[in-house]
Structure 1
Amino acid sequence: MRKAKKKKRIYKLIGIGDTVLVPCSKDVYRKATVIDTHIKNDTLALRIQFDNGSIHFISSELCYRIVRGVAIPLEQPKTRLQKFSIWLLRKFGLSEV
């Protein structure tokens, strides 16, 4: 039997110039602007810049984006609640995916 092919389509909900919420310390998230994106080890990595000018690299698994008041994870959703909320936002045209 042959193994089923893995989907290589990248789940992308972010673009250059978008604002994201990035974890800074325990339970603290700050706004940052995305400067560049690239894929490293099958994970989307973001190059971000904070308001004070500091530039960092961070995995998109840790970041969120606010769309119409709802925090959406930047990586592929894993729980049913995350999948349902993203489906709902796409259904009503509130997300630019």
Structure 2
Amino acid sequence: MFKSRKKKDKKQYKLVSPGDEVLAPCSQDVYRKAIVISYQEIRNIPTLRIRFKTGNMNFVSAQLCYKIVKGIAVPLEKPKTKIQRLCLWFLRRFGLAEV
């Protein structure tokens, strides 16, 4: 009579937490180290509030930022391809990233 609806996976994908350092775009083709102040979702887009060492505070899409884990730049967006998922699985499996 009634069709059952599939529950969506509502787990938030977060690779960073407040206080972590990320590489964030500060101008065209220039990335600098920044400290994450907060993590928010604005209109279903993961957004970071960051502070550069100069004191500037900005809101930046997490899709544009990277985190350095053991010398490897890891994108902060949710992995969409199988190769990205595999790379993150390896990082987590061997304890290189804490999620």
TM-score, normalisation: structure 2: 0.88
Taking the aligned partners of 1:40 and 1:73, their CA distance within structure 2 comes to 19
Taking the aligned partners of 2:28 and 2:5, their CA distance within structure 1 comes to 41
Q: Give 5+ residue unaligned stretches, structure 1.
A: none
Identity of aligned residues (%): 52
1:41-71 residue CA offsets vs partner (Å, 9 max, x unmatched): 2222111000110100111111110000111
Cα distance, 1:4 vs structure 2: 2.9
Cα distance, 1:2 vs structure 2: 4.7
| Structure 2 match to 1:32 | 34
Asked whether 1:22 is paired with 2:40, we answer no
Taking the aligned partners of 1:30 and 1:53, their CA distance within structure 2 comes to 13
Over the aligned positions, Cα root-mean-square deviation in angstroms equals 1.4
| Structure 2 match to 1:57 | 59
Taking the aligned partners of 2:5 and 2:62, their CA distance within structure 1 comes to 29
Q: Give 5+ residue unaligned stretches, structure 2.
A: none
In the alignment of these two chains, the number of paired residues is 97
TM-score, normalisation: structure 1: 0.90
- Equivalent residue in structure 2 for 1:79, among 72, 78, 81: 81
Amino acid at match of 1:32: A
Taking the aligned partners of 2:29 and 2:84, their CA distance within structure 1 comes to 19
Q: Which has the larger radius of gyration?
A: 2
| Structure 2 match to 1:91 | 93
